[in-house]
Structure 1
Amino acid sequence: MADSGKNHEIAGVYPDYNEIWKRAVRLNNSSKGTSDCVSHWRDKESVYEFIRSDEILGGERIKWVVESLGLKPGDRVLDIGAGPGTISLEIAKVCSHLTAVEPSDVMAEVFKERACEAGISDYNIVQKRWEDIIPGKDIFGMYDIVISSFALGMEDLRDSLIKMNQVCRGSVHIYYHANPLPWEDMRSALWKRLHGIEYVPVPKADLLMAVLYQLGIYPDLSCRKFVSENDFGSEDEMASFYASKMRVTDDAGKKIIVEYLLDIADYNDNNGQFVIEETGIKAHLWWNFRH
């Protein structure tokens, strides 16, 4: 597995990649008109819409994440940014205990509902941002596996990574985007027309790797390419699916989205379906850390 040690960067030679990360996160939030990623989730319907789209796009991805963790029945697992439990609840079926960190009230509520439906009870959920978590006060003990799956919304990535190591007695696993998200091209093309401001994409795994290197953490890395085909029976169905990602609710905005989608969608004459192919390259970075 990967090594970790002292910071070998030479002061003044390399930029502070954590500061670059901070600026990128701030610009992304500013372009979306939000203070952070938590404030996006206002009601349960938006969360369930997220779950539906995630299941359409991410069934294979969810399986990849869970299988790559190498879970054992006796493991204690910490999931940072657990969301509605898409990954966490699969983990909880195997491990001995799960701690889920999820700051969004509505996400946490849906998490609990889905855990109840699945008959899962051996977990605790902490409704705080990871940046505000105090080990020994908010979470207790050490964890065999610490995971963050597509949930790096924190500004101070360096401190967040250090804290992950502080509570780990086994391995840390981070899953993140290696290429632009499928809808980011659409946001870059349409965001200014829809919202009056240029869209700034989220930082990606290359910058995460640079921050880790400046911490003296040299993770193992693997990437997986996911290709999905999304079928829609009508223009309205297609527009509704992408409208939430574009943060559009009005008919005028949906019309702009449809015009864009019709240029990139294939039309299947046999079944009358619009087909949009999406490609995502996901990175898995992991390292062992024992005190």
Structure 2
Amino acid sequence: MNPTTEIDWNAVWTDLLKRSRKATPARDCARIWESKESAKRFWDMSKENRHRVEETIAGTDFTPESRVLDIGAGPGTLAIPFAQRVKHVTAVEPAEGMVCVLKEKMAEEGVDNIDVVQKRWEDVSVAEDLETPYDVVIASFSLGMADIRAAIEKMIASAAPGGTIYLYHFAGETHWDRDCRDLWPRLHGEDYQPGPKSDVLYNVLYSMGIYPSVRTFRLQHSQRFADFEEAMKHFRHQYGATTAEQEAIVRDHLGRVLQKDNGVLVLPASSTRVKIWWEVERP
């Protein structure tokens, strides 16, 4: 038996993602970042972790004439620095808050070569919404599509022959997974369900006849909050805490994990990430 052909890895991905979303509905990315306040916090967090942005840009093959498609662009964490180096960027982002901050930051940085498509990738029409082909297609920790095979096929359809597709995803247990494995049963009376990781993604690609390059790396990152109440406001929603008892559990948790640093509170974290990339075949 050849497990890569006998197992439907796309179905495995879909099942894991659906179970995770059912158990943790507040973690749906498009919902988390609908508010402008949350999107601004994400932008600030990306600035705190700018080393990851610079490493991502440096690890991408492009020229000043390249055209880039950024899927799940958020507030422009990658789209804006790419736009300062290439000819054109199309940023696909569904969340209203993220799009609002992205447009503000474009104006602040004087960037005018980004087209913004406010849609989920699943709802994007290659023919109607995009200006194909793209030399670089990138999805950085934004692979929340239930049908990942269809999502990848659309990426390939958007890319220029000889262009490169870059996917960034998680390997193993993240800091969020570790915290939720302990907190979720106490908060909601059920086990936490993590989403699909890079092992499933690789096997989906392999089953499609794609044999990508893979690089695994450890990422240190952090979130900063002006005070404890700002942290509570952020995590109250993310943990789905709606009762006094649930809020007390979150407060106790944050009291143990937040660290003081120059007058602010910091949540340090680290996790193993994976960069997966391949060149689109020429006809």
TM category, shorter: 0.7 to 0.9
Work out the number of aligned pairs and report it: 280
Amino acid of the residue matched to residue 139 of structure 2? S
- The DSSP-based 3-state class of the residue aligned with 1:137 is helix
Deviations 1:127-170 (A, max 9, x none): 12212222221112211000001000100000111111112121
Displacement after TM superposition at 1:65 (Å): 1.1
Aligned to 1:6: none
2:113 to 108, 122, 125: 122
Displacement after TM superposition at 1:260 (Å): 2.8
Query: Which segment is superposed worse, 27-36 or 104-113?
Result: 27-36
Residues 1:42 and 2:34 aligned together: yes
Cα distance in 1 for residues equivalent to 2:126 and 2:224:
45
Displacement after TM superposition at 1:109 (Å): 1.8
Residues 1:286 and 2:283 aligned together: no
Query: Which segment is superposed worse, 91-100 or 179-188?
Result: 179-188
Amino acid of the residue matched to residue 42 of structure 1? E
Cα distance in 1 for residues equivalent to 2:103 and 2:267:
33
Query: Which segment is superposed worse, 119-128 or 11-20?
Result: 11-20
Residues 1:55 and 2:47 aligned together: yes
Aligned to 1:96: 87
TM-score under structure 1 length normalisation: 0.84
The answer to which structure has the higher helix fraction is 2
Change (3 A) 1:244 1:224: farther
Cα distance in 2 for residues equivalent to 1:99 and 1:229:
28
Residues 1:17 and 2:9 aligned together: yes
Cα distance in 2 for residues equivalent to 1:149 and 1:52:
17
Change (3 A) 1:266 1:102: closer
Cα distance in 2 for residues equivalent to 1:256 and 1:35:
18
Displacement after TM superposition at 1:94 (Å): 0.5
Cα distance in 1 for residues equivalent to 2:224 and 2:103:
31
Whether contact under 8 Å (2:225, 2:231) holds in the other structure is yes
Structure 1: runs of 5 or more not aligned: 1-8
Aligned to 1:190: 183
List aligned pairs for 1:1-291, cutoff 5 A.
14-33=6-25, 36-56=28-48, 58-169=49-160, 170-228=163-221, 236=229, 239=232, 242-248=235-241, 252-263=245-256, 277-291=268-282
Change (3 A) 1:14 1:53: same
Structure 2: runs of 5 or more not aligned: none
